[in-house]
Structure 1
């Protein structure tokens, strides 16, 4: 298959830090050219992530004029890293990609085309793409790759274990709930809003707890302990969460829904003995220590396509200034309620 690259493409460009209206502008920019070890992807859809909100507001250490840390699409062209590193990907191959510097050190996915490292690209069978469509597929890469790694690498979650997920109604949290329930874990989940309890229970959660500053103290006073804790609220609840893990249990910090403000942490005084505490940031995907091939993304897509795992995007927006700006407004207001996806080109 031969796909011709246009000279220019449409992209949402981060012109300045600030509100969605002030920052995000639709422009015609040069289409990227392939470089060794990279592929050009015709973007079909991309997910909206909190990292991009922080980039837009100037709160992230690294950002590019075109943000966006993930997308799904088809290969246009690719070049192997070296002559001896084997063939690259065939044009027309459906793929998902995430991280690898996208939106941070190389222009990202808020565009009609992007250039991504081959190390961070996973081919997806065309039959699965046809079953799901680009919008549903676009809800998976970053969220499910990160959730899977936190649950089954950092936490080593086993069937029957008691898992607490703090921040469970975020798109990341909901993905973790679904994967954990599918694996046979007993899941307790927190949300800031009582009205979201029914939705969590429908996903298989056995207990919904109202998130807030007093929750940790309440659970500690009751002597509650969990085998594993996935902490997505972040620094503001971390110290209490550490006290909710049983001896030899594990806690993984992987989100900052409560904000990026630092805390003072003295392990000698504030951490229980025998508790395993780790952090995971998806920006490491594609590195030698964290190859994306470790994550069974194609298997996750197959579970969704077969109906064994529900992963509908909460909202779908059209590509353009109005659609992307509205997605950012919803995210900033904390009203997403799940994964939001922008569709650039719906044709299969």
Structure 2
């Protein structure tokens, strides 16, 4: 068992609190709140940096099924204390150990990472070496957890992408899409990617994309008329383009729905009329990380960090903000306007 005296924890901490659903300006407020206390099966983490995610935008707007006063579904930081409950609840970690954590209820059923400290299930805490932290820094590490863990699972579990396969990624200039592009290119897949803005084509080609297509609801119909088919499709735009994407998968191919960049509005879907025969269709939501069937240990996070160090993957944050009302609000405004063009990270404490 690893523990640290609660005397090392301040009684209160600064946190961005979701006071009510609404705009970034009115809903996100900096407050002093009680610091989380150690509990069996959980680790207390001193937050160093956290990524900004679309899920948190939907939580802020009241569009998510669950949310807590402190949102934030991922972070990187150091262990203050950890107390295993049972053999299956995760291993104890020494105080001062650098870690990555994501999901496991963060921001949904337990207070999340928009704070100086957070409490996370040990099953969802992954240690990394001090050497890797020193090479990358907290801001770059903060761009990795949710984005790369989810992209890796979609590509190599749901889609089983193999070298030489034709892969279409719809919504490729999002932070999720960029991570998926790099992972797929590193695997040896032949990647086609979509973006709403043609001026982003060169940036995608620089990442290894072979073909860039301008995104739009009619794109699927146009590609069908051209007789185009792909081995695998990663659908990140969501419901607005899903039905078109289903027509772009060859017989025996696979489509994974994992993003909703086009919004959460539902669609009518009649499999008898709209599902292509012989096509495998799946969904992945990262909120399952930590469940018995989806352990976070399934994702080679430390290996992914090593690939970052070697320059094989890209996790340079598009924008980095200081921890505070103004920084977090600005990040949410940019995300809501669809102008992020990559991962945004908030640094709480940059000291290594």
Pairs within 5 Å for 1:43-82? 43-82=47-86
Where does residue 131 of structure 2 map in the other structure? 127
The aligned residue for residue 232 of structure 1 is 236
Question: Which residue among 292, 297, 303 is the counterpart of 1:299?
Answer: 303
8 Å contact kept, 2:47–2:115: yes
How big is the shift at 1:84? 8.7
Distance change (3 Å), C-alpha of 1:272 and 1:84: closer
Distance in 2 (CA, whole Å) between partners of 1:146 and 1:83 is 26
1:84/1:171 Cα in 2 relative to 1: closer, same or farther (>3 Å)? closer
For residue 312 of structure 1, what is the aligned residue in structure 2?
A: 316
For residues 97 and 308 of structure 1, the distance between their equivalents in structure 2, rounded to whole angstroms, comes to: 22
Q: Structure 1's 275 and 83: CA in aligned 2 closer, same or farther, altered over 3 A?
A: closer
Structure 1 segment 86-101 matched on structure 2, within 5 A:
88-101=92-105
After superposition, residues 81-160 of structure 1 pair within 5 angstroms as: 81-82=85-86, 88-160=92-164
C-alpha spacing 1:86/1:248, structure 2 compared with 1 (3 Å) = closer
2:167 aligned partner: 163
**Which ranges of 4 or more aligned residues in structure 1 deviate by more than 6 Å?**
83-86
Alignment match, 2:188: 184
Q: Which residue of 1 aligns with 2:214?
A: 210
Instruction: Give me the whole-angstrom Cα distance separating, in 1, the residues matched to 2:86 and 2:187.
Output: 40
Determine which of 265, 279, 284 is the counterpart of 1:280: 284
Equivalent residue pairs, number: 348
Displacement of 1:127: 0.5
Note the C-alpha offset of 1:82. 2.9
Change (3 A) 1:257 1:83: closer
Instruction: Say whether residues 1:343 and 2:347 are aligned partners.
Output: yes
Task: Report the TM-score, using the length of structure 2 for normalisation.
Answer: 0.97
Select which of 275, 291, 294 maps to 1:290: 294
CA–CA distance in structure 2, aligned partners of residues 31 and 330 of structure 1: 29
Distance 1:65 1:265 in 2: 35
State how far apart, in whole Å, the 1-side matches of 2:270 and 2:225 are. Answer: 21
Please state whether the residue corresponding to 1:25 is helix, strand or coil.
strand
1:15 is aligned to 2:23:
no
Q: Distance in 1 between matches of 2:90 and 2:160?
A: 34
Deviation digits for residues 232-267 of structure 1 (CA, Å, limit 9, x no counterpart): 000110001001000000000000000001001011
How big is each residue's C-alpha offset from its partner over 1:146-183, in whole Å with a ceiling of 9 and x where there is no partner? Answer: 00000000000000000000000000000000000010
RMSD over aligned Cα, in angstroms? 1.2
Gaps of 5+ in 2: none
What is the CA–CA distance in structure 2 between the aligned matches of 1:323 and 1:130, rounded to whole Å? 25
Q: Distance in 1 between matches of 2:124 and 2:25?
A: 31
Give me the whole-angstrom Cα distance separating, in 2, the residues matched to 1:232 and 1:314: 19
User: Matched residues in 2 for 1:39 and 1:184: separation?
Assistant: 38
The one of 253, 256, 266 equivalent to 1:252 is 256
Q: Alignment partner of 2:147: what SS? A: helix
Q: Which residue of 1 aligns with 2:37?
A: 33
Distance 1:186 1:84 in 2: 40
How far apart, in 1, do the equivalents of 2:58 and 2:89 lie? Answer: 36
User: Secondary structure of 1:133's partner?
Assistant: helix
Quick check: 2:243–2:274 contact (8 Å CA) kept in 1? yes
